[in-house]
Amino acid sequence: MQHDVIEIPQSTGEAWQKSVDIMADLIDVPAALILKVRGADELEVLVASDTEGNSYASGDVTERHPDSFFEASIQGRTLLRVANAERDERWRSGPAERRGMTSYMGLPLSWPDGEPFGVICVLDGEEKLYSDRAARLLDQFREIINLHLALLFQQHELREKTRFDSLTGACTRRDFFDSGRAELKRARRYGIPVTILLLDFDNFKLINDQHGHACGDAVLKLLTQRIMDSLRSSDKYCRFGGEEFVVLLPHSELEHARLVAERMRALVASRPVEFKGLEIPVTVSIGIARLEGAGETLEDMVEKADKALYRAKHAGRNRVESYERLPDVEA
């Protein structure tokens, strides 16, 4: 999982701010921090206590240095107490990230899958022997933060399950409508063209009937991967239902969408799908619709694309048709 995509809600950030403020007061230090790993080389200060003498601020970024307090906490995965860095050979020549701080106590923070999140810590500009009571207090705050991280992790996993089709890896119908409506809103605001493609694999029922549903599933998975590899990162390929898929193409005029559709059609038809020694030829029919009227909805666009798809099917399959080329007839 890419942990960097998990967002920390504002309400959680506010709760963490209160936590570090209380922590700094109870342990009697000028600085209490929660830091987050940012890539392989950096740490970001997510929250810093609002206390006098704190040389850190929320949003600060520091390097992940092997001789830093923070990195030692992450790699050691246990409590680290440093009473006076100036008297300790390990820390005496440490990096500038100490910012005048002499003493440190910190614990690592982790995601539920064991990947490091960052550090929760306190620092002081003077020598300080952190007591066991202070260490227990820090650990209690660490447990609270880790519970928040577990909840955010679970919520992200649930959202991901609703976003992606479990068989093909394409986005789901629900995600298509959620992201598609947002895309239409942006398109109207900035005058950006948007088109959609509605795809239906031809005679797919025959594949299931002749070779079994396991074969049909394998065909959908392979063709989905083949098509998704041909799209831009900004395009969205979604399973609409059964063997029907839809593609959202932001920043695409009708002619560009037609080129994309023709490329997809040729990509599917160009080589058969291999399954257990069988070579299974597959073709696809595609309908295209673009955003037109000011009040047009995503559902309206799907309906237009469906009419174009109906035309492609009845004109012999393995074809691309756009709604603008159609008379206004019901499918």
Residues marked as catalytic: 243
**Phi, psi at residue 144, to the nearest 5°?**
-65, -45
Among residues 82, 81, 158, 153, which one has the least CA distance to residue 117? Answer: 153
- If one counts every other C-beta atom within 10 angstroms of the C-beta of residue 71, the result is 19
